[in-house]
């Protein structure tokens, strides 16, 4: 899609000029601006209120130093970030990522995307993201704890249950959230729902751990039913990654009667023609924190593939990229299409390159972008905030039913928005438009506040 609307074109040029050297942020904004053009043309009030200029600029971006001591007493310095992108529809909300690839561009792209995703859930949450270039791999429990405590010693100034509620993301799971929560409580002297993804013993929600992966399957199931009276049952699925999102996507896929053929990590992939044994993956990844290669050593008939991307060369019906940004490139997309894939849904954030998305869309593959497809995680985080405020907790069945309902309603919103603006079946545009409209209307209503 090209840029044809003069206002959008001008904002795009301004954006590129102001954000040089930020490729991920540019990629995310580029896609959104292109797909918002028909909306801008039919809503002059958005230009009058400079909505696009305001939307692409984070409300606040904090960068801070995180000093910490390793087990030998050596001092290390990492960078911490919190990008509070947009608070038009609720307190800032978005995960924390601890990974060596974290930088300002990655944080801004994730915070920007989060704004639309949170809007799609229908829950009152603004967009944010944060994290650090700290690498948790190979660190002891005590080192992780000291890092989290130092990180929170600065971050606590900017967050709060009604201000900004971080959660986990890559490298930040239940253990890290526990250490972060403990330090926040100590610094502020208050027990509030300031973080989500908490343990069940101190204010966490049932189904939060499973939410992103389960939600991904709920929306894929809804899309297949809606577009083809079809279902996930009996389908062959490949899932990249073997972290939180991938594992629980696989769990729900298997429980719906699909066969998961392959999973991966950053060093390689495993292919099991008999269907991946998730019990073995969980032991390797959740308990032993080992490489996925071990799976092929333990499960007869399975095979190790040296390159993670080779997973996309396996013939399958559905592909679920659940690892990291830009992991699914044009070559992988071509291989999937040639092998007859019928649907691709993004569990990770922006895992498909723009070229890959283009290939899927022009081949008529049903493609669900991350903003819609992986919104289940933040949706249950929103439900966790709700439960913390009520000081009353729902059963797993209740949370799961609400999650399913939210994912199905997201599909309806993005399908209808795409159709209303003349792009039926284009769920990328549908997600951007539906997510945008609610935020833009709230920004107009609140005047030139941010
Ligand atoms: P985890 O850290 O739990 O898992 C990430 C997984 O991806 C690991 O198995 C990792 O392997 C693997 N991986 C990393 N890079 C590659 C690569 N290039 N090729 C193949 N595998 C790779 O993270 P999450 O599961 O929490 O997050 C995954 C994605 O989902 C991220 O994009 C995140 O932003 C997104 N997301 C997560 C949500 C959540 O609730 N957790 C919510 C919404 C989105 P290794 O161990 O080798 O690094």
Residue to substitute in 134, 245, 282, 286 for testing ligand 1 pocket (most ligand atoms within 8 angstroms of CB): 245
180 and 249 within one domain? no
C-alpha–C-alpha distance, residues 218 and 206, integer Å: 17
pLDDT tens for each residue of the chain, 450 residues long: 789 999 999 999 999 999 999 999 999 999 999 999 999 999 999 999 999 999 999 999 999 999 999 999 999 999 999 999 999 999 999 999 999 999 999 999 999 999 999 999 999 999 999 999 999 999 999 999 999 999 999 999 999 999 999 999 999 999 999 999 999 999 999 999 999 999 999 999 999 999 999 999 999 999 999 999 999 999 999 999 999 999 999 999 999 999 999 999 999 999 999 999 999 999 999 999 999 999 999 999 999 999 999 999 999 999 999 999 999 999 999 999 999 999 999 999 999 999 999 999 999 999 999 999 999 999 999 999 999 999 999 999 999 999 999 999 999 999 999 999 999 999 999 999 999 999 999 999 999 988
CA of residue 240 to ligand 1 center, whole Å: 9
Please check whether residues 299 and 348 belong to one and the same domain.
yes
216 and 359 both lie in a single domain: yes
Domain boundary among 350, 368, 386: 368
Structure tokens at 275: 């269907």
Residues 188 and 255 in one domain: no
Same domain, 68 and 49: no
Q: Ligand 1 pocket: which residues have CB below 6 Å?
A: 168-171, 212, 240-246, 264-267, 308, 322-324, 327, 347-349, 374, 377
Distance in Å, CA 137 to ligand 1 centroid = 13
Is residue 246 within 8 Å of residue 260, measured between CB atoms?
A: no
> Residues 129, 177: one domain?
yes
Q: What CATH number corresponds to the domain at position 310?
A: 3.40.50.720
Ligand 1 center from residue 246 Cα (angstroms): 8
The reply to whether 387 falls in a domain is no
- DSSP codes joined into one string, 153-202: HHHGGG-BTTTEEEE-BTTB-HHHHHHHHHHHHHHH------SSS--GGG
- CA distance to 87, 385, 415, per residue, from 94 (Å): 12, 12, 25
Residues 48 and 120 in one domain: no
Total number of domains in the chain? 3
Domain limit, last residue, from 322, 349, 368: 368
User: Which of 117, 129, 209, 222 is flagged as catalytic?
Assistant: 129
Whether residue 354 is contained in a domain is answered as: yes
User: Are 233 and 142 in the same domain?
Assistant: no
- The residue assigned the tokens 């998961």 is 260
Residue 374 lies in a domain: no
Is 129 among the catalytic positions? Answer: yes
Residues 295, 360, single domain; the answer is yes
State the CATH number of the domain containing residue 184: 3.40.50.10860
Let me know whether 177 and 218 are in one domain: no
Q: Choose which residue among 136, 266, 384 to substitute to test ligand 1 binding: the one with the highest number of ligand atoms within 8 A of its C-beta.
A: 266
Token pair recorded at residue 14: 């301004």
**Ligand 1 mutation pick, 98, 115, 244, 247, max ligand atoms within 8 A of CB:** 244
Distance (Å, rounded) from C-alpha 362 to C-alpha 300? 39
Is there a domain that residue 363 lies in? yes
- Rounded to the nearest whole angstrom, what is the distance from the C-alpha of residue 266 to the centroid of ligand 1? 9
Residues 133 and 78 in one domain: yes
Q: Within a domain: residue 203?
A: no
Inside any domain, residue 96? yes
Report phi then psi at 324, rounded to 5.
-155, 180
Whether 394 is covered by a domain: the verdict is: no
Query: Could you list the residue range(s) of the whole structural domain that residue 315 is in?
Result: 211-368
* Rounded distance between C-alpha atoms, residue 52 and residue 56, angstroms: 6
From 368, 403, 428, the end of a domain falls on: 368
Q: Is residue 266 part of a domain?
A: yes
Let me know whether 151 and 266 are in one domain: no
């Amino acid at each position: 899609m090209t840029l044809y609307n003069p206002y959008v074109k001008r904002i795009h040029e301004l954006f590129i000029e102001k954000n040089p050297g930020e490729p991920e942020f540019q990629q995310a904004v580029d896609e959104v601006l292109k797909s918002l053009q028909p909306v801008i043309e039919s809503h002059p009030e958005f230009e009058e209120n400079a909505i696009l200029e305001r939307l692409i600029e984070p409300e606040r971006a904090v960068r801070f130093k995180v000093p910490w001591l390793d087990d030998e007493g050596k001092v290390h310095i990492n960078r911490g970030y919190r990008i509070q992108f947009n608070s038009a529809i609720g307190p800032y909300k978005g995960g924390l990522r601890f990974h060596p690839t974290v930088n300002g561009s990655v944080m801004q792209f994730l915070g920007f995307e989060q704004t639309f995703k949170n809007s799609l859930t229908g829950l009152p949450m603004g967009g944010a993201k944060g994290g650090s270039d700290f690498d948790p791999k190979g660190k002891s429990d005590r080192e992780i704890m000291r890092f989290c405590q130092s990180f929170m010693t600065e971050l606590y100034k900017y967050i709060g249950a009604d201000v900004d509620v971080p959660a986990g993301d890559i490298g930040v799971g239940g253990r890290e959230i526990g250490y972060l929560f403990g330090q926040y409580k100590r610094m502020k002297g208050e027990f509030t729902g300031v973080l989500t993804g908490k343990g069940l013993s101190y204010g966490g929600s049932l189904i939060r751990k499973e939410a992103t992966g389960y939600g991904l399957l709920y929306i894929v199931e809804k899309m297949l039913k809606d577009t083809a009276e079809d279902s996930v049952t009996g389908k062959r699925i490949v899932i990249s990654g073997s972290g939180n999102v991938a594992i629980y996507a696989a769990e729900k896929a298997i429980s719906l009667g699909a066969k998961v053929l392959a999973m991966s990590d950053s060093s390689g992939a495993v292919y099991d023609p008999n269907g991946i044994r998730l019990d073995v993956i969980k032991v390797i990844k959740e308990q032993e924190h080992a490489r996925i290669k071990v799976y092929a050593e333990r499960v007869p008939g399975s095979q190790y593939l040296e390159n993670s991307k080779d997973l996309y060369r396996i013939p399958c019906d559905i592909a679920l990229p659940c690892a990291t940004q830009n992991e699914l490139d044009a070559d992988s997309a071509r291989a999937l299409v040639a092998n007859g894939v019928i649907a691709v849904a993004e569990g990770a954030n922006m895992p498909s390159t723009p070229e890959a998305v283009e290939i899927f869309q022009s081949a008529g593959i049903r493609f669900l972008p991350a903003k819609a497809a992986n919104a289940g995680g933040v949706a249950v985080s929103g439900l966790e905030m709700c439960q913390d405020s009520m000081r009353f907790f729902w059963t797993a069945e209740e949370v799961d039913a609400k999650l399913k309902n939210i994912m199905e309603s997201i599909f309806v919103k993005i399908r209808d928005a795409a159709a209303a603006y003349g792009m039926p079946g284009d769920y990328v545009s549908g997600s951007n438009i539906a997510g945008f409209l609610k935020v833009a209307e709230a920004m107009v209503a609140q005047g030139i506040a941010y």
